[in-house]
Chain A
Amino acid sequence: MSDEFKIEIVNPEKSFLSKDDVNEVVVPAFEGEMGILKDHISIISFLKPGIITIRAKSGEEKYYVEDGIIEFKNNTLSILTSYILNLKDIEKNKLQELLKNAEEESNKPEISDQLKYLADQKVETLKSIN
């Protein structure tokens, strides 16, 4: 099919995922959700905590990310992230732990506005998974 493109997700430890039959990817970009289709203009953006949805020929997959940078170029989408989890494999108590940490972070008094916003996003996303 001609409307497919390639996606690569890497985290510092390894190459997390690589697929070349992707039709659409929705990423939680910093200024709002962003859908990427084939032949998108070259773009660099960064992510806020949220869900990455990958719609591929082989099915739909969802991942939780805490941060990251995306780069789209020549029909290859690269996502660099330091923390990523497949929603399918995520465990209940792990989720609770993340949520607790995020809530603690957002309740810290000395935190800057931007960090507070990110932490709130984290809480929201984690709650929506639950």
Chain B
Amino acid sequence: MASLDDLKKRITSVKSTQKITKAMKMVAAAKLKRAQDSAEKGRPYSEKMNNIILNLSSGISDKEAAPKLLSGSGKEQVHLCVVLTSDRGLCGGFNANIIKKAKSYFAKLNKEGKELKIITVGSKGNDQLKRVYGNKIIENISFKNSKNVNYFDAEKVGKIVIEKFEKEEFDICTIFYNQFKNVITQIPQAQQIIPLNTKSDDQNNSEDNYEFEPDEDEILSNLLPKNISTQIFKAMLENSASEQGARMSAMDNATRNAGEMVDKLTIEYNRSRQAAITKELIEIISGAESL
């Protein structure tokens, strides 16, 4: 059995860990509020963008001449996967979930004999993927220095993706991120952004007769690159809200566990203290009796 001193030390150390996790939980809660706000505020933009593109693509006359970003390069050989993760750890299963989703997708591609290229955004994803897929990672982007998610960062990623597409380095691009559902649940998502998935819901689309200035093709070719950045931005916003949510619940759990541990250790401490006292008393009494 551990000595009294050892137990005391352990209790203090668990308590100070608990203080840290508690503080981290509070910070995450405050950040979550902000991240959730900006995720909500960012939604109208990407929704409107999507609507306009749907309207445009349904109105486009010649499918063959459609921009490549919309129709794809006609092949499906090389896949580019953009894996969005966080830069910081201690957020529960947040990164692990994305990586798991991505890895199962990679395995599927491997089986089908497709070529794979990976761009990681966020250092945690890079750390985990480089062990197995190190030679597939063609770029690692990290926004450690940006305080909040902002559009220009997303645009940078978007530009890299588009540049590579124009050089025909890949045919299909998929982004992986966590969608924020609530604090406890984050759903890992795989979303294909090139070629764009234009499964329209077919509601009143055909009735809108738009006038286009200049013509559809030109607007589309201008709009699609922007849409890529917008989708990435949306994913980044969702991701940052998810990250804070995951961290909050992870830290909440850690705080609770630390509390339980302190309780258990305190009981053990008290017991051994009592045992020591009883032992001393017995010694004194039996000493007195023997006299």
A positions within 8 Å CB-CB of B = 8, 10-15, 29-31, 34, 41-46, 67, 69, 71, 73, 78, 80, 82
Contacts and interface: CB of A to CB of B under 8 A. Distances in A.
Given A15-B41, A41-B211, A45-B213, 10 more contacts: A42-B211, A44-B55, A44-B210, A44-B219, A46-B219, A46-B222, A69-B223, A73-B208, A80-B45, A80-B52
Contacts of A14: 38, 41-42
B36 interface: no
A82 B226 contact: yes
Interface of B: 38, 41-42, 44-46, 48-49, 51-52, 55-56, 150-151, 154-155, 208-214, 219, 222-223, 226, 230, 233
Contacts of A78: 48
A67 B225 CA distance: 13
Contacts of B208: 42, 73
Contacts of A29: 213
Nearest to A74: B208
By CB atoms of chain A within 10 A, which of B210, B222, B230 has the most? B210
Contacts of B226: 67, 69, 82
Contacts of B46: 12
Contacts of B48: 10, 71, 78, 80
B130 to A, nearest CB: 30
25 contacts: A11-B151, A12-B151, A12-B154, A13-B38, A13-B151, A29-B213, A30-B214, A31-B214, A42-B208, A42-B211, A44-B52, A44-B210, A44-B213, A44-B219, A45-B214, A46-B219, A46-B222, A46-B223, A67-B226, A69-B52, A69-B219, A71-B51, A73-B208, A80-B49, A82-B151
Nearest to B44: A10
B187 to A, nearest CB: 22
A113 B42 CA distance: 32
A10 B151 CA distance: 13
- The 6 tightest CB contacts between A and B, nearest first, are A14-B41, A12-B151, A45-B213, A43-B211, A10-B45, A42-B210
Contacts of A34: 213
Contacts of B51: 71
A126 to B, nearest CB: 19
A15 B42 CA distance: 8
Nearest to B59: A44
A67 B44 CA distance: 17
